[in-house]
Amino acid sequence: MATSVDLLETPIEYLKGVGPVRADVLKKEAGIFTFNDLINYFPFRYIDRSKFYNIAEINADSAYIQLKGVLSQIRKAGKPRAQRLTAQLRDQSGSIELIWFAGVKWIEGNLQEGAEYVVFGKPSYFNGNYSLPHPEMELASEHAKLVVEKLQPFYPSTEKLKSKGLDSNGFRKIMKNVVVRIKGFIPENLSDEIIHELKLIPREEAILNIHFPSEIRKLDRARARLKFEELFFIQLNLLKLKLIRIDKLKGQTFAVVGDLFNTFYTKNLPFELTNAQKRVMKEIRSDMGAGKQMNRLLQGDVGSGKTLVALMSMLIALDNGFQACLMAPTEILASQHHKTISRMLEGLDVNVELLTGSTKAKQRKAMHQLLQSGELHILIGTHALIEDTVQFNNLGLVVIDEQHRFGVAQRAKMWQKNTIPPHVLVMTATPIPRTLAMTFYGDLDVSVIDELPPGRKPVKTAHYYDKDRLKVFGFMKRQIAEGRQIYVVYPLINESEKLDLKDLHDGYDSISRAFPLPDYAISIVHGKLSPADKDYEMQRFVRGETDIMVSTTVIEVGVDVPNASVMVIENAERFGLSQLHQLRGRVGRGADQSFCILMTRDKLTNDGRERIRTMVKTTDGFEIAEADLKLRGPGDLHGTRQSGILDLKIADIIHDEKILKYARNMAAKVLEEDPKMMLEKNKPMLLFLRQMNRYKTNWSLIS
Ligand code: ADP
Ligand code: MG
C-alpha cells in the first residue's frame, strides 16, 4: 500500500490534466514538482460567482467583477499587426466597453451580437472611461447551467503558465483532480495539543477548504489554520537554531573591563552616552561575559550612535586580550569607520587598520602578518575580511554594520576565524517593524537604541516640484552663505545605470551653472569612479573644501559630515521610504537646523505621493518603517524578495501580527518542554520541519 508520503510526492506529470509539457512549465514557473507542491499552491482571491454587478456601479476601486448584459457593436480597429477588438455590454444600469488586444480573430468568431453574456474581468480606467480588457465571456444560458462553486478560487499565474492553459481556470481544473487523489492522505503536522488549545481545524480540512471553500466561514478557518502553521514553523526553526547554537557553541568570556575601555571612557569620549547607549552597553557586556557566544542585533535609527557602541564593545574585547573586527558593506563606509574610529582612539595604544578590495598586495601582506602576531588590534574593512587568508591571532568580536547585505554563510565564515567562535554584534540602521524583526532576525537577541543624542533638532522636510527648482537653488545659496554644506542625491537603479548616470551628469551640469567657480566648489561621486577617486572627492567634502556633494546613493550609508545641513533628493519619487529615511539621516548631525528637500516631477503616483507625504510628516524611523511595510509589502524590504526568506505563502506580516505572536509563543513553549523534540506528541512537527528544511535550503540564510 502506498503511504501518504509516497502519494504526496508523486511527480506532477502523473496528475490527470497535467502531462510532461505542463509539468515542465509548472516546475519552472511555479516551483510545483509534486502533488504536495500543487496542493500548497494557494489561491490569492475568491470571487462569489453568484453575484452580479451593475455596470453603473463600476468605479476606480473595482477589483474583479462579474456583469450580466447584452452584447452589441462588435468592432475591429487598428492596423492588421496591432489589431484590437471592441464590443459594448449593456445592462439595465448602463454600458461598458469590452476590449481584446490578442487573439482577435478567434474571439470575434466566437461572440454573438445581441446575445446575453455573463462577463468577468477587472475594469481599467483610461481617458475618462471604464473598459474591461480581456474579460472571460460566457453565454448567460451556459452560465446558468454550470454548477459554479459559490466562492471561486483565483490562482496566481504567469504568461508562460497561461500559454499552457494554466490561468485560474486551468489551475482550478487540475486542483480538482489533485484534491480527489490526495483526500484522506494529508498528514497532520501539528500536535493534538496545539490543535486543541488553539481550536484549529485539521490540516486536511484546511487544505481542502482553502481551494474549494463551501462557505466563507470555512474559508476563514482554513486560512487561520494555514497562516498559523506557516508562521509557527518559521518560528520553530528560528528558535531551534538558537537553541542549537547556545547548546553547541561555547563563547569567550570577557571577564574584565580594563584600561583601554576606562581610559577611552574618561579621556577620549567627547560627550555623555545617551541612556539608550548605556543600557545597550550593559546588555552587550553581560552577553560577552557569560561564557556563551553573543549573537546580538543592535537596532537604532540613523544617527543614534551605533558606531560608538561598536567601538566600546571592541575595546572590551581588546582589554581581555582579544582582537576585534568591523565589517561594513561598502568601501566608503569602511574607510569612514576607519577614520572615525582612528580619530576617536587617538592617544590610546591601539593599532587600527583598514582592509578593503583595493588595499595593495604589499600592505595587505604586512597586515596579515601583524594580524597573526596579534600586533594589529582592530581590523576594519569590507567583505575582504572574510577571505581565508585573513587569519587572526585571537579574534574575540566581530561587528557587522548594515547586516542585511551579508548572508549567514559569510557570518559563519567569521565564526570559524577562531577555535572558540567570536562574539557577533550585528548593527542595522534601518528600523524594522517588530513583526518583521521577529521573523527576520528571530533567533538573535535584540538591543535597541531608541533615543537620539541630545541637542539634535529634527530635520525639516519639504517637498518641491521640479518647476520650483530656482527657489530651491536660492535656498541652497543662502545656506552656503551661512557656511553650510549640501548633498544633492540622484537615484541609482541598477537596471538602467546609464540612464541614471545621465541624470546625474545633467544635474551636475545645471548645478555647476547655478553655482559657478570660483564662488562655489562642487564634488561629484558615483559608482563608476575608482575607489581612489571616490575617496578623494569624499574627503574634499568632508574637509569642507567643497560646498556641494552631487552623488548617487553611494552616500546612502554611514557618511558623517556634521557641517552638512541640507539634503536635496532628486527624483525623490523613485526612492523607497527607508532609503529616503537613510538619506535624510545624513543631515541633522550637527547643532544647526537641517533641511531635507524632496524634489519630484509634477505628476506622482498614489504610492509616490504617499511616500513623500510620510517623509514630510514624520522623522520617526519606526513610523516610517511601518508605512513602508504597508506600501510595499514585506517582500521588498531588505531585499528579502531576492533572497526568498520572507516568501510567505499565506500569512501576512502586517495583518497577522496576532497570529505571529501565538505562533512564536507556541513554538517557544514546545521547545521549552521538549528542546530536542523527542516526545511522541511532537513527532509530526519534527517530521514536517525536517521535510521543510530539505526543500527550503534558503533557511540557512536567516539571521
Ligand atoms: P549611526 O547610529 O547612524 O551609525 P553614528 O554612530 O554615526 O550613528 O553617530 C552619529 C553621530 O552622533 C556621530 O557624529 C557621533 O559622534 C554622534 N554621537 C554618538 N553618540 C553621541 C552622544 N551620546 N552624544 C552626542 N553625540 C553622539
Ligand atoms: Mg552608522
Condensed to tens digits (0 to 9), the pLDDT of residues 506-521 reads 888 999 999 998 999 9
Question: Both 502 and 596 in a single domain?
Answer: yes
Residue-level pLDDT at 645: 44
Which residues are within 8 A (CB) of 196 and not within 5 positions of it... i.e. 6 or more apart?
Answer: none
573 CA from centroid of ligand 2 (Å): 25
497 pLDDT higher than 70: no
Residue 596, pLDDT > 90, answer yes
Radius of gyration, alpha carbons of the chain: 30
Secondary structure element (H or E) that encloses residue 88, with its range? strand 84-90
> Which one of the ligands is nearest to 589 CA?
1
Give the residue ranges of DSSP H helices in 292-330: 306-319
The residue behind cell 460566457 is 138
Per the structure block, which three cell numbers stand in for 380? 576594519
Q: What are 649-671's pLDDT values in tens digits?
A: 888 776 788 898 899 999 999 99
SS3 for 383? helix
Q: Determine, yes or no, domain membership for 166.
A: no
Q: From the CA of 304, how far away is ligand 1's center (Å)?
A: 6
What mean pLDDT is reported for the chain?
Answer: 86
Distance 563 CA to ligand 1 centre (A): 14
Indicate whether 476 and 434 sit together in one domain. no
Name the domain boundary from 93, 112, 147. Answer: 147
The predicted structure's pLDDT at residue 39: 96
C-alpha cell recorded at residue 519 = 564662488
Pocket test for ligand 1, best of 297, 298, 304 (most atoms within 8 A of CB): 304
Cα→Cα distances 411→8, 18, 237, 643, 680, Å = 36, 43, 18, 16, 35
Nearest-angstrom CA–CA distance, 374 and 377? 7
How many helices and strands, by DSSP H and E, does the chain display?
26, 22
Nearest CA to ligand 1 atom 10: 303
- Please name which of 205, 217, 103 lies closest in space to residue 163, comparing C-alpha atoms: 103
Residue 506 falls inside a structural domain: yes
Q: How many other C-beta atoms lie within 10 A of the C-beta of residue 545?
A: 11
Q: Which amino acid is it at 373?
A: S
d(CA 38, CA 178): 8
User: Helix or strand or coil: residue 85?
Assistant: strand
Angstrom CA distances, 654 to 545, 623, 628, stand at 46, 13, 11
* Res 303: pLDDT: 81
251/394 same-domain check:
yes
Give the tens place of pLDDT for each residue, 599-615: 999 888 888 899 999 99
Q: 571 and 451, same structural domain?
A: no
410 pLDDT above the threshold of 80: no
Pick the last residue of a domain from 147, 182, 202.
147
| Residue 337 located in a structural domain | yes
At residue 703, the pLDDT reads 34
Residue 558 has pLDDT above 70, yes or no: no
pLDDT of residue 590: 77
Q: Which atom of ligand 1 is nearest to the CA of 340?
A: 16
Least confidently predicted of 314-328, 404-418, 436-450? 404-418
Q: Is 343 in the pocket of ligand 1 (CB under 6 A)?
A: no
Under a CB-based contact definition with an 8 Å cutoff, are residues 12 and 18 in contact?
yes
Residue type, 148: V
Residue 236 and residue 143 share a domain = no
How confident is the model at residue 640, as a pLDDT? 39
Domain boundary among 119, 147, 175: 147
Q: Same domain, yes or no, for 403 and 509?
A: no
Does the CB atom of residue 305 touch ligand 1 within 6 A? yes
Distance CA 86, CA 293 (A): 68
Q: How far is the CA of 303 from the centre of ligand 2 (A)?
A: 7
Q: Is residue 21 part of a domain?
A: no
**Cα 35 from chain centroid (whole Å):** 30
Residue ranges making up the domain that contains 292 = 192-456+653-703
How would residue 287 be classed by pLDDT, with cut points 50, 70 and 90? Answer: very high
- Clarify whether residues 474 and 568 are in a common domain: yes
Give the global pTM: 0.67
Q: From the CB of 308, is ligand 1 less than 6 Å away?
A: yes
Residue 238 placed within a domain: yes
Atom of ligand 1 nearest to the CA of 401: 4
Q: What are phi and psi of 558, to 5 degrees?
A: 80, -15
pLDDT on residue 423: 94
Grid coordinates of 222: 482554513
540 lies in the same domain as 500:
yes
- Across 257-262, average pLDDT: 93
**473 and 442 fall within a common domain:** no
Per-residue pLDDT of 114-127, as tens digits, reads 999 989 888 887 77
What span, in angstroms and rounded, lies between the C-alpha atoms of 212 and 204? Answer: 12
Q: Are residues 396 and 288 in the same domain?
A: yes
Q: Residues 57-74: what's their mean pLDDT?
A: 84
User: Distance from the CA of 595 to the center of ligand 1, in angstroms?
Assistant: 19
Whose Cα sits closest to atom 4 in ligand 1? 306
| Mean pLDDT, residues 191-212 taken together | 96
411 part of a folded domain? yes
The answer, yes or no, to whether residue 417 has pLDDT greater than 80, is yes
- Collapsed DSSP state (helix, strand, coil) of residue 153: strand
Q: What is the pLDDT of residue 504?
A: 83
Q: Do 425 and 303 reside in the same domain of the chain?
A: yes
Q: How much is the pLDDT for 79?
A: 79
CB burial of residue 313 (10 Å; 0-12, 13-18, 19+): buried
CA distances from 526 to 397, 538, 553, 569, 576 (A): 33, 11, 8, 15, 19
User: Does the residue 162 lie in any domain?
Assistant: no
Average pLDDT over residues 220-240: 93
Do 248 and 228 sit in the same domain of this protein? yes
The number of domains in the chain is 3
Residue nearest to atom 1 of ligand 1 (CA): 303
Whole-number pLDDT of residue 637: 44
Q: Given a cut of 80, is residue 90 above it in pLDDT?
A: yes
Averaged pLDDT, 477-489? 95
The pLDDT of residue 699 is 40
Cα 300 to ligand 2 centre (Å): 9
Q: Which of 281-290, 401-410, 452-461 has the highest mean pLDDT?
A: 281-290
Taking CA atoms, 105 is separated from 80, 85, 101, 620, in Å, by 11, 8, 10, 57
675 domain residue, yes or no: yes
What CATH number is attached to the domain comprising 529?
3.40.50.300
Pair 523, 537: CB distance under 8 Å: yes
CATH of the domain at 63: 2.40.50.140
Q: How far apart are CA 292 and CA 445, in angstroms?
A: 13
Q: Rounded to whole angstroms, how far apart are CA atoms 601 and 446?
A: 40
| Cross-sheet strand order for the sheet of 445-449 | 352-355, 378-381, 323-327, 395-401, 423-428, 295-300, 445-449
Long-range pairs for 88-91: beta carbons < 8 A, 24 or more residues apart:
89/55, 89/117, 89/119, 89/132, 90/55, 91/54, 91/55, 91/67
Q: How far is the CA of 452 from the centre of ligand 1 (A)?
A: 8
Of the pLDDT bands very low, low, confident and very high (cuts 50, 70, 90), residue 187 is very high
Write out the three cell numbers for 478: 543662502
Between 555 and 347, name the one with better pLDDT: 347
Size of the chain in residues: 703
Q: By three-state DSSP, how is residue 342 classified?
A: helix
Please report the DSSP string for 38-94 in residue order: HHT---SEEEETT--B-GGG--TT--SEEEEEEEEEEEEES-GGG-EEEEEEE-SS-
